[in-house]
């Protein structure tokens, strides 16, 4: 809120302007004097001596998620004066959370913990075959799980605040919005507004779940922003979407014993290797998850209130006029996420965004078209939406700005994992993208099914796991794509990702001696190519 005697900063100014009773301080001269080491004389206005204006902070970070916090802490390490502004707009159901962003509060962390809860349920079933005997009926308690998960998340929220305090980073739980050059307005939950200036800004606001824009979606549906703290078991659940968020949530809900249906508009896991995506879908269907394909909801109605209540979903075919209806206790929307960039005043400072997606184009140093404003994380155009990527980009950006380094974030060959019931790890090109870029005749795909030893005694899911590498024939069969479906896929992929970064070839992979008996050793013995059509079912140990 502007105080009496202050005036709005002119939009055309290239440096911050301080106005006192219609008189302006010339910051061009002030900054020039500062750079030249000349002492600055106090100025007299209306009989008062004024110290020439300087920025309140060296760096203001808008967004307290993984990327923003990493950058803020790194900048503080170099003695910079840093502020973090973070504010969570509540979901339509009223849910919000603490410092740390999506990953910690409503993403990677609670997702994997609930995935682990589902895996433990499977392990209990397997244990009988290994001789464990228990007569009491084993049931899952949703509230016990969510309370434990939320307690852990709460400890992380507190830990982040303590670290910022220890590093002398100023943190405000307030909504940051640009109001003019080098100036932001911070509005807290009570509506109190403050103005702050900084030499540089970092936008790290992340994304939030998208809604369908149909009757009843915000009134009755939940999103991934709600599911991990839901104060009751969701019961029979319809998951709308085919994203990794949709399939991960459907997977752990089914693993906890719930009746789960996934409604898919077109393909599964768009942007991922479709061979792997389809195998994931087949595995999930084989484990009791229903799929309704090529339908989209057009209306959600409440039949009965409750925790959970009952909802009627009306859906329409994407191929024609067929209409179907179904009843569920909970409808979870996971149809994509939108960048939080449209309501933070970027137009007031001239930062360009993609008008369709809200994403921010940046150069190879994460710099926007406005030189003193930078951006990292999920809001970047044509960049990977992954927590470790945002952290790496944020740290390296600060090191370039304040430590004189030149290293840039490498967005190539970034490993990732989808924590579906059958986990999927990937690094490098998908098969489709490799064919498109190099030509089908110039790539060789080696693949095989495998059966984890741990699954043999319970005699389940024989030859459901799958390994595939994609090699560039013209580059000494260098491995340009790595894909694995199986337990602990993330752990497996992380190790191979380092080798791929170093330019690993198929010959080097073949010369590597495997560890026996583990799943990852399959990659040291791949011999069947896809084009050969040879048998890839694994027999024996």
**Which neighbouring-strand residues pair with 427?**
482
Whether 126 and 459 have beta carbons less than 8 Å apart is answered as: no
Whether 493 and 482 have beta carbons less than 8 Å apart is answered as: yes
Both structure tokens of 31: 């900054």
- Does the annotation count 140 as an active-site position? no
Task: Give CA separation, 141 vs 138, 144, 289, 308, in Å.
Answer: 10, 5, 20, 15
**Which neighbouring-strand residues pair with 61?**
84, 202
Query: How far, in whole angstroms, is CA 477 from its chain's centroid?
Result: 32
Task: Give CA separation, 407 vs 283, 364, 400, 401, in Å.
Answer: 42, 10, 7, 11
Query: How far, in whole angstroms, is CA 283 from its chain's centroid?
Result: 24
**Which neighbouring-strand residues pair with 296?**
316
244 vs 270: CA distance, rounded Å: 9
Instruction: Please tell me which residue in 115, 140, 182, 516 is annotated as part of the active site.
Output: 516
Query: Checking phi first, is residue 234 left (phi over 0); if not, alpha (psi -120 to 50) or beta?
Result: alpha
Whether 178 and 35 have beta carbons less than 8 Å apart is answered as: no
Whether 331 and 349 have beta carbons less than 8 Å apart is answered as: no
Residues carrying an active site annotation: 516
């Amino acid at each position: 809120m502007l105080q009496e005697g202050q005036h709005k900063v002119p939009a055309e100014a290239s440096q911050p302007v301080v106005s006192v009773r219609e008189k302006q301080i010339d910051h061009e001269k002030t900054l020039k004097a500062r750079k030249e080491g000349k002492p600055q004389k106090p100025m007299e206005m209306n009989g008062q001596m004024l110290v020439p204006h300087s920025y309140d902070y060296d760096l203001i970070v808008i967004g307290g998620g993984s990327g923003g916090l990493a950058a803020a802490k790194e900048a503080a390490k170099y003695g910079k004066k840093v502020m973090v502004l973070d504010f969570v707009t509540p979901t339509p159901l009223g849910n919000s959370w603490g410092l740390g962003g999506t990953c910690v509060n409503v993403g990677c962390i609670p997702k994997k913990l609930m995935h682990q809860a589902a895996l433990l349920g499977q392990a209990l079933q397997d244990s009988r075959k290994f001789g464990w005997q228990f007569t009491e009926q084993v049931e899952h308690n949703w509230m016990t799980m969510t309370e434990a998960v939320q307690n852990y998340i709460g400890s992380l929220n507190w830990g982040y605040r303590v670290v910022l305090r220890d590093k002398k980073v100023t943190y405000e739980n307030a909504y940051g919005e640009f109001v003019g050059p080098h100036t932001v307005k911070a509005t807290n939950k009570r509506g109190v507004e403050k103005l702050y200036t900084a030499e540089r800004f970092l936008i790290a606001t992340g994304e939030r779940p998208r809604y369908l824009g149909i009757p009843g979606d915000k009134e009755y549906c939940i999103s991934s922003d709600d599911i991990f703290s839901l104060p009751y078991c969701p019961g029979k659940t319809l998951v709308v979407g085919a994203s990794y968020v949709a399939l991960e949530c459907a997977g752990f809900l089914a693993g906890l014993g719930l009746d789960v249906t996934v409604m898919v508009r077109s393909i599964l896991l768009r942007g991922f290797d479709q061979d792997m995506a389809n195998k994931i879908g087949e595995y999930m269907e084989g484990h009791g998850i229903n799929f309704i394909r090529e339908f989209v909801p057009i209306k959600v109605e409440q039949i009965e209130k409750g925790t959970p209540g009952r909802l009627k979903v009306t859906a329409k075919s994407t191929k024609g006029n067929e209409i179907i209806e179904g009843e569920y206790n909970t409808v979870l929307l996971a149809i994509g996420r939108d960048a939080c960039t449209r309501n933070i005043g970027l137009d007031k400072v001239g930062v360009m965004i993609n008008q369709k997606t809200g994403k921010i184009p940046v150069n190879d140093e994460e710099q926007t078209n406005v030189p003193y404003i930078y951006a990292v994380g999920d809001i970047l155009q044509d960049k990977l939406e992954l927590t470790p990527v945002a952290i790496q980009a944020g740290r390296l950006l600060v090191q370039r700005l304040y430590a004189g380094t030149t290293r840039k974030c490498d967005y190539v060959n970034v490993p990732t994992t989808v924590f579906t019931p059958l986990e999927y790890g990937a690094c490098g090109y998908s098969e489709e993208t490799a064919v498109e870029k190099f030509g089908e005749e110039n790539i060789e795909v080696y693949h095989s099914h495998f059966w984890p030893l741990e699954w043999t005694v319970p005699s389940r899911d024989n030859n459901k796991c799958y390994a595939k590498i994609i090699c560039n024939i013209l580059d000494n069969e260098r491995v340009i794509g790595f894909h694995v479906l199986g337990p602990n896929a993330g752990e497996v992929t992380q190790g191979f990702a380092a080798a791929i970064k170093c330019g690993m070839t198929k010959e080097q992979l073949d010369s590597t001696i495997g560890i026996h008996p583990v799943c990852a050793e399959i990659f040291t013995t791949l011999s069947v190519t896809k084009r050969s059509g040879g048998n890839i079912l694994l027999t024996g140990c």
